[in-house]
Amino acid sequence: MPATFVLGRIAGIRVGVHWSVLLVFGIIVFGLSQGRLPETYPGRAWAVYWAAGLCTAVVFFASLLAHELGHAVVARRNGVEVDDIVLWLLGGAARLRTEASSPGAELRIAGVGPLVSLLLGGLFAFGAWLLDLASGPGVVVEMVAWTAGINVLLAVFNALPAAPLDGGRLLRAFLWWRTGDRLRATAVGQVLGRLLVVLGLLAFLRTGAFGGLWLALIGWFLIVAATAEGRQAQLCGALAGVPVRDAMTPEPLAVPADTTVAGFLTDARYHYRHSAFPVTEDGPPVGLVTLDSARKVPQAEAHAVTVRDAGGVKAGHGPTLGARRGGRESPPVGRRRGAALDVKRRLAAVADALLPLRASHLGDT
């Protein structure tokens, strides 16, 4: 899920927020300021409850960010590239560009998140105890105690052995270590998701509590995410050991670097089968051009701008057309790390066709 806006960088990792965070932020603030706090400590001014709810929600999301930062920092230390961290409706996600290279790395990356949340829960609980001993304001004690409880709950929930939760990745690391097969933990996430959906709907129908719908929503997310992760795992399994030369078109049609963008887009040869073509200059390939990226060149300039001028060559000749996202240029193809995983993702369409034929060789998921 892409970030709606970027907050900045922490430890060199870009941190963004999706607009759906506003929904859960509002739910937390409203639930605390109009429910738990006035019920536990009545008689305070309404501004006190609202201020306490706002502060608690901010601290909660800071705790959530710390959880994801734990994943991201440990991932980088284990050689896994991190794209960014995005906070959204149902929590946060540290988006990793590549997979862990070993069961031990998978264990460390997955396990640090719940440990961070558990540690924060313990620290907040200790703080609430100290405040209570010092006869601190009741509302403040309740704020800190709620934050402690939600962090412990976050740690416990994420430790459930179901993909894509951290516990599911821990289970995958264990099975990977024991059997050499990293595909077996994904089905558990679908089962747990269905169970949460059923329990949430039953709770809502019997009590009318909003928490039941929230539980069902979390279950639905687990089903969708576990299904997607299972397909990705099958894809990687199906393509494991398949060299790129066996999946690519032999002697592909190339685009001369001095071809204009208009000529490239109107030439019928470049509309057959493929959406990306190698760019050549005096024989050898020097880059890559895609139809989608070429269409982004303004029509008024397309007859004057060549593929070379537009950026369809690699480092040393210019940036690569098709390697730009959101106005930024990504690293040249030849220097990109994690290229093997990138190739696997780009071959998803091929894998979808192959999976039914190879399913009997993939084992249980």
Task: Please list the active-site residues.
Answer: 68
- Phi/psi of residue 91, each to 5°? 135, -125
- Would strands 91-96 and 255-256 be described as parallel, antiparallel, or unpaired? unpaired
Neighbour-count burial of 322, counting CB atoms closer than 10 A to its CB (0-12 exposed, 13-18 middle, 19+ buried): buried
What are the angstrom distances between the C-alpha of 264 and each of 54, 79, 125, 129, 333? 55, 39, 64, 70, 21
**Beta strands in the chain, from DSSP E residues, in sequence order:** 5-10, 13-17, 82-88, 91-96, 255-256, 276-280, 285-290, 324-325, 328-329
- How far is 314 from 308, CA to CA, in rounded Å? 10
Identify the residue whose tokens are 């690569």.
Answer: 320
Residue from 201, 202, 218, 164 nearest 24 by CA: 218
Helix (H) and strand (E) counts in the chain: 14, 9
